[in-house]
Amino acid sequence: MEKREELYRGKAKTVFTTDDADRLILQFRNDTSAFDGEKIDQLERKGMVNNKFNHFIMQKLEAAGVPTQVDALLSDTESLVKKLDMIPVECVVRNRAAGSLVRRLGVKEGIELDPPTFEFFLKNDALHDPMVNESHIITFGWATEAQIAQMKQLTFKVNQVLKDVFGNAGLVLVDYKLEFGVFNGEIVLGDEFTPDGCRLWDAETLTKMDKDRFRQGLGGVVEAYEEVAKRIGVSL
């Protein structure tokens, strides 16, 4: 597979075209940002850890029947992926209260949410990713009713699979966000699943093992990512 030109450069990943019109190369960089790009840093090894972490998780999800964008691991920092027509909506599931849910509703951080909550957010940094509902999504043409139903079903299936993966490693999957796109008319899980886009706590100590370590200035960000990877069986 031949890498060609840079198609898109995000906050932590770069997307390249290839000689196959249906495939892209996703490069994970060491760049780290928070608060819509207001806090930025370079963290050595982060791109490698997230690339391998993402590939491992996507393999687990594929085995459980969740269609994903990832085709193959190409190198320490690059993966071959399907070219999706991305839906500009994030699907967020919360198993425990944390982050914006705590700020918005004034609930105590860490309380268990039974059943888990589900929320949609518009993927738009300039607007700070506002919460939206199904009516907004359909009215503005971001996705159809059938696509929304499929995204919700797959998002909760991911929850079932990954709560076990992380739970068996002594970790709590607090919350996470997913993005989906369309490939050959089908809804497919895209973007990434790494500690950048979810919250993971140690089950015994409730130590934060995710990007909150960067957001909150706790330090040891990559070390925490590597510890999570080691526990679930990622080969770094």
User: What is the model's pLDDT at position 164?
Assistant: 98
Report how far residue 223's alpha carbon sits from residue 216's, in angstroms, rounded to the nearest whole number: 15
Give the rounded percent of residues in the chain with a pLDDT score beyond 90. 95
CA end-to-end span of the chain: 23
Backbone conformation region of residue 27, classed left if phi is above 0, alpha if psi is from -120 to 50, else beta:
beta
Q: Which residues contact 43 (CB under 8 A, 6 or more apart)?
A: 30, 32, 214, 221, 222
| Residue 93 one-letter amino acid | V
User: What is the model's pLDDT at position 37?
Assistant: 73
* pLDDT, tens only, 76-95: 999 999 999 999 999 999 99
User: What is the model's pLDDT at position 1?
Assistant: 79
The tokens describing 140, both together, are: 């503005």
User: What is the model's pLDDT at position 156?
Assistant: 98
Domains and CATH numbers, the chain: 3-82 (3.30.200.20), 85-220 (3.30.470.20)
Phi, psi of 169 (to 5 degrees): -105, 15
* pLDDT, tens only, 140-162: 999 999 999 999 999 999 999 99
User: What is the model's pLDDT at position 35?
Assistant: 85
Mean pLDDT per block of 10 residues along the chain (236 residues) reads 92 97 98 85 97 98 98 98 98 97 97 98 95 98 98 98 98 98 98 97 98 96 98 97
**C-beta neighbour count of 175 within 10 angstroms:** 24
Total count of residues recorded for the chain = 236
pTM of the predicted model as reported, rounded to 2 decimal places: 0.96
